[in-house]
Structure 1
Amino acid sequence: MRHLLFLNKYFYKYKWWIIPGVIFVVISNIFGVVPAQVVGHAFNLITENIAIYQLCNGFERQQVMYDIFSNSLFFFGALILVLYLLRGLFLFFMRQTIILMSRHIEFDMKNEIYAHYQKLSLGFYRRNNTGDLMNRATEDVNRVRMYVGPAIMYTINTTVLFFLIIYFMFSVNSTLAIYCLLPLPILVLTIYYVNTIINQRSEKIQEQLSRLSSFVQERFSGIRVIKSYVREDHTQDVFAEESQSYKNNSMGLVKVQALFFPSMLLLVGLSTTLTVYIGGKQVIEGSITAGNIAEFIVYVNQLTFPVTMLGWVTTLIQRAAASQKRINEFLQLKPDISSANTVEKDFTGKISFKNVSFTYPDTGIEALKNVSFEIEKGQFLAIIGRTGSGKSTLANLIMRMYDVDSGSIQIDGNELKGLNLHSYRNQVGFVPQEVFLFSDTIKNNIAFGLDQVEPGQVEQAAKNAAVYQNIIDFDLKFETMLGERGITLSGGQKQRVSIARALIKEPKILIFDDCLSAVDTKTEEEILGNLGAIMKGKTSILIAHRISTIKNADKIIVLDEGRIIEQGTHQQLLDLGGAYAEMYDNQLLEEENS
């Protein structure tokens, strides 16, 4: 239960929903218990006066007594009906307060989890799969809602009803009450034992459900690869194995519950048997009336539903505790990247790397080693190197997706770690190597980084990215809906839409992480020609594999195994006759052969 203490802040927030709900529970149970006394009085009326009625057989007074009995029984029946109607009314009020409160808490929790996910750094998403993240924010939250709603409601209801019935039982006859409640200690021990099993199996079920969700999400995302390699049957077999594991865990829990509920009903039946036996002896002795036995049987039957619900409620609580534990694991994580500075300022775009080294924490790969360089305001810097040389790592560090291990990165002479992160990233246009487009219209994808879009702004960004003509060829033009991850578009079109998304922000710093690899040479020249005008006065960083893309850069950095091995202009590097010149000659040779 300690994991569920996290929810106390929500209970305090919605205390004015809980307090009336508890009051409605108490009132509804009072109206639920009182009918048992009415039944007892009605039973006594019949048993005590039936002999007198029979003695008057053949006399006119028998009809009078019959009318009195009939009216009395009608009155008792009407009274019971009214009491149950009032009970139903307050049960409705109870659900309208407690269950609605649970929906508000569910809403708050999902928002809190999503907001916390947004704060966590890129490394967190590398360590955790998407299916598990989704499952904690949906399925786990729903199980917690079942605790803060139905479980709490039925727990309060059962507790209040139990104490009311105990009070009324002992007020009638303490001996009979003790015998009726004799099976309860056995019930408590049974619940304690079963709860441990339920808790263990609930955690296994949640873990397996996360694995199943992750598997499905990953396979649907890679459906083209699966079809290309004709692996549908294989993935179906793997899915069946995962589903079978989930089914086995779930069936194990169901078997425990299936044994639990009949056991509780047996104990309740034992209470009824003891009531009739012990109560019958006391009626013979004259210590109680037959009506009291009827009253006790009603009490025992009223306890049947709460007791059977107790097993269901304990299951809900245990599963909620397991789910809340999983939620807390992520909510207690602190973001690797944080910014305490709240001052927003405009940047000119001067970037300095001073002896920067960086190792990826998840893999231990040393990506950069003692890297130093400077980019002046408005300069065009190009970065080139073999695969795995650390080019994309430089881009990630400038965006502060990670913090450096040693050395420092400065923006306009200020330490990057000390800047307002929101303000800084808002002034950077970043086109990642792995293009991601949302399942939305092309227009909304391009305008993603803006709160308000001016007329013609989206179209101009598309023209600058050389994708305008492709878009207007669609039937719905800019209102065309894209499939998941932009599957509607080709690779080159997705890259250009991603470039348009960066350009529309009119940022102070532009970073292109090998974003022209999927476009042909002609389109590349068109994009670079458009960027020439846009990049004036802006600091631009272009990561590329093709030298033709970067030969006009103010400075070119050549990376190899995380180190800068050469830097200078295109002509300077060619004159140097080193690694850059070798790459240039190799690419020229490839173009001639093609």
Structure 2
Amino acid sequence: MKHLRFLNKHFYKYKWWIIPGVFFVVISNIFGVIPAQVIGHAFNLITENIQIYGLFNGFDRQQLVYDIFSYSLFYFGMLVLLLYLLRGLFLFFMRQTLILMSRHIEFDMKNEIYAHYQKLSMGFYRRNNTGDLMNRATEDVNRVRMYVGPAIMYAINTIVLFLLIISAMYSVNAKLATFSLLPLPALVIIIYMVNTKINQKSEQIQEQLSSLSSFVQERFSGIRVIKSYVRENYTRKIFAQESENYKESSMSLVRVQALFYPTMLLLVGLSTILTVYIGGEQVLDGSITAGNIAEFIVYVTQLTFPVTMLGWVTTLIQRASASQKRINEFLELQPDIQSGDLAIDNFKGNIRFENVSFTYPDTGITALKDLNFEIKSGQFVAIIGRTGSGKSTLANLIMRMYDTDQGTIYVDEKPLPSVQLQPYRNHIGFVPQEVFLFSDHIYNNIAFGLDSTTDEQVEQAAKDAAVYHNIKGFELGFQTMLGERGITLSGGQKQRVSIARALIKSPQLLIFDDCLSAVDTRTEEEILQNLGRVMHKKTSILIAHRISTIQKADLIIVLDKGSVAEKGTHKELLAVNGIYEEMYRNQLLEEEKKSL
């Protein structure tokens, strides 16, 4: 239960739902117990009036006895009906308070989990797969909701009903009450054991379901690759095996559950037999009436459901505790990246690396080593290097997706970790290497970075990214709906829409992480010309592989194995005859081969 203490704050918040709910539980159970006593009196009335009716056999008064008897039965029948209607009414109120409260708590928890996910750093998402994150925010929260709603409701209902029925039974006859309740402890133990087994198998099923969901989600995301490599049958076989494992676990659970109901009916039947047998002896002794036996049978029947619920509630609590533990594991995590306190109101875009090194904590790979350079405000700076030289890592450090292991990055001469994080990122336009577009209209994808935009702003951003004419060529234009991850568009179009999304912010610092790779040279030149106009007197950092892209840069930094190998202008680096000059010569040879 210690993991479920997290929910106490929600219970306190909705205490004015819980208190009336408990009151309705008590009232509904009172109206559920009284009918048994009415039925007992009715049964006594029947037995007594049958004898009286027989005594007046052949007399005129026999019809009067019959009329009184019929009226009394009708009265008792209507009374029982009224009591059950009142019970149903208060059961409705009970569910309207406690079950609705659980839905409110579910809503709050999902929002809290999602908000916390948003705060966690990039390292967290590298360590956890999407399927597991989804399950904790959906399946696990649903399990917790079953605890805060049905489990608590039925637990309170069971306790109240037990107290009312047992006190009523012992007030009539202690011996008969003891024998009637004799099988129930055994039933509780068996139900607990069976439900524990059910819970264990349910946990296995939940894990396999999570694995199955992750598998399906990943395959749907990579459907292009699957079709390109003609691996549909292969993935179908893997899915069939995963489904088979899930089916076997589910069938095993069903077999265990199949033992539950026959066992329950057996013990309830035994309790009824004891009630009739011991009650019959008590009637012969004159201790109780025949109506009391009928009353006790109703009580035993009423206790069957709460006893069954006791095992079910135990299972719900166990499952909710396990799920809440999983949820707490993430909610207790603190972001690796904590926002600083320094305001950065007039951001100029001056970036300085001082002895910066970085190693990825998950893999232990050292991406950058002892970097020292400065990007001055208003400069167009290009970062180039071979694959794996640390270019994208450098961009992530400037965005502060990660913190440096050693050294410091200064932003306008302020240490980056001390700067307020969200205002700083609001000044940056970032186009990642792996373009991601949302399943939304093109218009909304471009306008994503701003709270409010005009059509003119969106269209101008599309023009600056050289994608305007492509979009207007679609039947629905900017209202064209994109598939998942922008699958509707070509690679170059996706890159340019992503560029438009960055440009619409009019950022003070623009970072392009090799986002022109799928764009032809003519379109690339158009985009770069537009950038020169849009980013005039603003800082631009362009990470690229093609040297033709960066020849006009004010400063070119060449990375090699995580270190700054060379830096300077295009002409200066060619004169050095180093890595840059070699890359330039190789690219010229590639272009000559293509022209042939």
Give the TM-score of the pair, scaled to structure 1: 0.98
SS in 2 for 1:511: strand
Q: What's the CA shift string for 1:411-443, capped at 9, x where partnerless?
A: 001111111111011110000000000011111
Q: C-alpha separation between the residues in 2 aligned to 1:346 and 1:260? A: 70
Change in 2 beyond 3 A, CA 1:50/1:344: farther
Q: C-alpha separation between the residues in 1 aligned to 2:262 and 2:556? A: 77
Residue number in structure 2 paired with 1:564: 564
Deviates more, 1:371-380 or 1:130-139: 130-139
SS in 2 for 1:346: coil
> What's the Cα RMSD here?
1.3
Residue number in structure 2 paired with 1:415: 415
Q: C-alpha separation between the residues in 1 aligned to 2:51 and 2:45? A: 11
Work out whether residues 359 and 367 of structure 2, in 8 Å CA contact, stay in contact via their aligned partners in 1: yes
Give 1:23-422 correspondences, 5 Å limit. Answer: 23-341=23-341, 343=343, 345-422=345-422
TM-aligned CA deviation for residue 189 of structure 1: 2.3
Work out whether residues 191 and 308 of structure 2, in 8 Å CA contact, stay in contact via their aligned partners in 1: no
Work out whether residues 40 and 291 of structure 2, in 8 Å CA contact, stay in contact via their aligned partners in 1: yes
Q: C-alpha separation between the residues in 2 aligned to 1:209 and 1:144? A: 18
Change in 2 beyond 3 A, CA 1:342/1:170: farther
SS in 2 for 1:448: helix
Q: What's the CA shift string for 1:27-55, capped at 9, x where partnerless?
A: 01100110000011111112123212101
Q: C-alpha separation between the residues in 1 aligned to 2:462 and 2:522? A: 17
Deviates more, 1:202-211 or 1:445-454: 202-211
Residue number in structure 1 paired with 2:449: 449
Q: C-alpha separation between the residues in 2 aligned to 1:257 and 1:143? A: 19
Q: C-alpha separation between the residues in 2 aligned to 1:223 and 1:109? A: 33
SS in 2 for 1:404: coil
Query: For structure 1, which runs of at least 5 residues remain unmatched after alignment?
Result: none
TM-aligned CA deviation for residue 299 of structure 1: 0.4
Q: % of aligned pairs identical?
A: 77
Q: What's the CA shift string for 1:46-103, capped at 9, x where partnerless?
A: 2123212101001011111111111111110010010001001111111111111111
Q: C-alpha separation between the residues in 1 aligned to 2:338 and 2:293? A: 69
Matched, 1:5 2:11: no
TM-aligned CA deviation for residue 525 of structure 1: 0.4
TM-aligned CA deviation for residue 344 of structure 1: 5.5
TM-aligned CA deviation for residue 199 of structure 1: 3.0
TM-aligned CA deviation for residue 569 of structure 1: 0.9
Q: What's the CA shift string for 1:549-573, capped at 9, x where partnerless?
A: 1111111110011011101111110
Q: Which amino acid aligns with 2:29?
A: N
Change in 2 beyond 3 A, CA 1:376/1:321: same
Residue number in structure 2 paired with 1:584: 584
SS in 1 for 2:482: coil
Q: Which amino acid aligns with 2:210?
A: S
Q: C-alpha separation between the residues in 2 aligned to 1:95 and 1:484? A: 40
Work out whether residues 261 and 308 of structure 1, in 8 Å CA contact, stay in contact via their aligned partners in 2: no
Q: C-alpha separation between the residues in 1 aligned to 2:234 and 2:454? A: 50
Runs (4+) of structure 1 exceeding 6 A deviation are: none
Work out whether residues 384 and 556 of structure 1, in 8 Å CA contact, stay in contact via their aligned partners in 2: yes
Work out whether residues 509 and 538 of structure 2, in 8 Å CA contact, stay in contact via their aligned partners in 1: yes
Q: C-alpha separation between the residues in 2 aligned to 1:192 and 1:150? A: 18
Work out whether residues 260 and 311 of structure 1, in 8 Å CA contact, stay in contact via their aligned partners in 2: no
Work out whether residues 206 and 323 of structure 1, in 8 Å CA contact, stay in contact via their aligned partners in 2: no
SS in 1 for 2:448: coil
Q: C-alpha separation between the residues in 2 aligned to 1:38 and 1:518? A: 83
Work out whether residues 24 and 91 of structure 2, in 8 Å CA contact, stay in contact via their aligned partners in 1: yes
SS in 2 for 1:336: coil
Deviates more, 1:426-435 or 1:156-165: 156-165
Deviates more, 1:438-447 or 1:195-204: 195-204
Change in 2 beyond 3 A, CA 1:49/1:340: farther
TM-aligned CA deviation for residue 340 of structure 1: 4.6
Q: C-alpha separation between the residues in 2 aligned to 1:380 and 1:400? A: 20
TM-aligned CA deviation for residue 11 of structure 1: 1.2
Q: Which amino acid aligns with 1:434?
A: E
Q: C-alpha separation between the residues in 2 aligned to 1:264 and 1:159? A: 19
Q: What's the CA shift string for 1:199-218, capped at 9, x where partnerless?
A: 32222222111111100000
SS in 2 for 1:564: strand
SS in 2 for 1:409: strand
Work out whether residues 356 and 368 of structure 1, in 8 Å CA contact, stay in contact via their aligned partners in 2: yes
Q: C-alpha separation between the residues in 2 aligned to 1:342 and 1:38? A: 76
Q: C-alpha separation between the residues in 1 aligned to 2:323 and 2:261? A: 24
Give 1:420-499 correspondences, 5 Å limit. Answer: 420-499=420-499
Q: Which amino acid aligns with 1:282?
A: Q
TM-aligned CA deviation for residue 125 of structure 1: 1.0
Q: Which amino acid aligns with 1:562?
A: G
Q: C-alpha separation between the residues in 2 aligned to 1:447 and 1:424? A: 19
SS in 1 for 2:209: helix
Q: Which amino acid aligns with 1:424?
A: Y
Matched, 1:514 2:514: yes
TM-aligned CA deviation for residue 244 of structure 1: 1.5
Deviates more, 1:242-251 or 1:543-552: 242-251
Deviates more, 1:141-150 or 1:357-366: 141-150
TM-aligned CA deviation for residue 193 of structure 1: 2.4
Q: Which amino acid aligns with 1:374?
A: E
Q: C-alpha separation between the residues in 2 aligned to 1:408 and 1:260? A: 64
Change in 2 beyond 3 A, CA 1:170/1:386: same
Q: Which amino acid aligns with 2:516?
A: L
SS in 2 for 1:54: helix
Q: C-alpha separation between the residues in 2 aligned to 1:29 and 1:331? A: 39
Give 1:513-552 correspondences, 5 Å limit. Answer: 513-552=513-552
Q: Which amino acid aligns with 1:384?
A: I
Give the TM-score of the pair, scaled to structure 2: 0.98
TM-aligned CA deviation for residue 3 of structure 1: 2.3
Q: C-alpha separation between the residues in 1 aligned to 2:590 and 2:255? A: 68
Work out whether residues 265 and 308 of structure 1, in 8 Å CA contact, stay in contact via their aligned partners in 2: no
SS in 1 for 2:356: strand
Q: C-alpha separation between the residues in 2 aligned to 1:195 and 1:53? A: 53
Q: C-alpha separation between the residues in 1 aligned to 2:375 and 2:342? A: 26
TM-aligned CA deviation for residue 319 of structure 1: 2.5
Q: Which amino acid aligns with 1:487?
A: I
SS in 2 for 1:389: coil
Q: Which amino acid aligns with 2:73?
A: L
Change in 2 beyond 3 A, CA 1:343/1:60: farther
SS in 1 for 2:451: coil
TM-aligned CA deviation for residue 341 of structure 1: 2.2
TM-aligned CA deviation for residue 453 of structure 1: 0.5
